[in-house]
Amino acid sequence: MMQYSFIINRKRKFIEQKEFAKQNLLGSGSCGTVFKMEYKPSKTKLAVKVMSRTTSDEENKRIIMDLDVVVKSYDCSYIVRCFGYFIRETEVWICMELMATCFDKLLKLIQQCIPEYILGKLTFSTVTALTYLKEKHGIMHRDVKPSNILIDEQGNIKLCDFGISGVLIDSMAKSRNAGCAAYMSPERICPSTQEKPDYDIRADIWSLGISLIELATNAYPYQN
């Protein structure tokens, strides 16, 4: 039986996977599936990302990067908090705080522009998270978009999903990992040198800007 040390209600505990009860599906994507689960002893509700381990080196790198970033960013209030994880032969679980929704779903739900005061808070939270990642861990997110920006029931806004984050070398990223082209900066879509792309955290700011325009106007800015 696999056991891991978790932080539940600010206390470190040694727990087993069987102590979690799956409740419902929260979302899914290329990097995994997220379920709402309950830690039965304390009835704590969590969001658990379940990622399948495969023979693909690229997919496994995403899992490692996502797990590494969220675990070591526990002290940042603007990055979704990880309470613990399970690593098994076939899959990895990342157990995180439960947020209410992402801004992509929120926009589709309300079908109207997000108020300016909320966008101001979103901007501050996201830029603070991006600055933290760069200054403390030397990485950039590379997939900033409304579906990766979460809000909880108290109005706290946090960044999530770090599977394609990139390590910065002399403040520059050196690889062309996949991302969402709709929010990708020009220098990432068409780098001056295909073999050795160079871009920095400003590419994430571009992605944030596109996201803000979409949320502020209830329309993606480039219709064609």
Could you confirm whether 68 is annotated as catalytic?
no
Distance CA(81)–CA(90), nearest Å, equals 24
Measured CA to CA, the distance from residue 92 to residue 81 in angstroms comes to 17
DSSP 19-49: GEEEEEEEEEETTEEEEEEEETTTTEEEEEE
- Cα(108)–Cα(6) distance, rounded to whole angstroms? 35
Residue from 143, 161, 200, 204 carrying the catalytic annotation = 143
Secondary structure (3-state) at 149:
strand
Sheet order of strands, 139-140 included: 139-140, 166-169, 172-173
Within 13 Å of residue 91, how many CA atoms lie on the same side as its CB? 12
Burial level of 197, CB count in 10 A (0-12/13-18/19+)? Answer: middle
Lookup: tokens for 32:
């995994």
The CA distances from residue 10 to 7, 13, 71, 100, 141, in Å, are 6, 10, 15, 21, 27
- Residues that are catalytic: 143
